[in-house]
Amino acid sequence: MVVDQFSDAEVDRVFHALADATRRDLVRRSVTGEHSVSDLARRYPMSVTAVQKHVAVLEEAGLVEKRRHGREQRVVGRPDVLRRAQQLLDELQQLWHGRLDRIGELLDEDPQGGTS
């Protein structure tokens, strides 16, 4: 079960990181290949330092990793962590569908003990 693979703290970090539109965009860009932090920063109306802070949040959540390439820090996405997060969401969706199905079954039951 995916819930066992992610601790509560890891789940919190991943979804906190993904709760910000800039960080979601950084993840999208980083899964397509390596990018330097300065290249990424050019795409946003904020300082390189602000983008570095966003990258740090993503890195702490495990969604990206930074690699040193000479004097540059390069950012690359971790699609395996995104897949794990998606699996967790899929499990939660299945759980809720199961509960809704059960509620529907209960509502369809005849009050006399049979089904309608």
Domains defined for the chain, CATH in brackets: 2-108 (1.10.10.10)
| Bigger pLDDT: 72 vs 59 | 59
d(CA 33, CA 75): 8
Q: What pLDDT sits at residue 104?
A: 83
User: What would the mean pLDDT of 53-68 be, rounded to a whole number?
Assistant: 96
Whether residue 13 is predicted with pLDDT greater than 90 in this model: the reply is yes
Residues in CB range of 108: below 8 A, 6 or more apart: 115, 116
The predicted model scores a pTM of 0.77
Q: What pLDDT sits at residue 12?
A: 93
Q: What pLDDT sits at residue 4?
A: 46
Q: For 101, what's the count of Cα atoms within 13 Å in the CB-facing half-sphere?
A: 6
